[in-house]
Amino acid sequence: MTLPQLNIYRHDRGRRALITLAGEIDPATAPQVRAALERCLHDGITTIDVELTTVGRCDNSGPRVFLDASRHAAGSHASLRLHHPSPQTTRLLADTGSDLLLP
């Protein structure tokens, strides 16, 4: 059995961070996503852009992490936005009410 893989890249520009995710978001990899987003807030980032172009598959754990991180960001006067999700991920975000994170 092959474990799902997710690569996370972060590029900061001032108080803005671009997080690029590549791979799959599921229960095995969602904690990595959560940790990366929380690290941004811990580091004083106020705008977090999450690039989803290279996310092949995303299950319900993805929107849950994004919504939790968005709430935490709002509490820190920061924002989180998702960019370029696949059609499948877009449907999942809409079904879970997470589409409000899309610009």
pLDDT band of residue 101 (cuts 50, 70, 90) is confident
Calpha distance 42→76 (Å, rounded): 10
**What is the per-residue pLDDT for 51?**
97
92 pLDDT more than 80: yes
Read off the pLDDT of residues 24-44 as tens digits, 9 standing for 90 and up: 999 999 999 999 999 999 999
Helix 30-42 and helix 61-75, axial crossing angle in degrees, nearest 10: 10
Residue 2 pLDDT exceeds 70? no
The token duo for 40 is 């941004």
Share of the chain above pLDDT 70, in %: 96
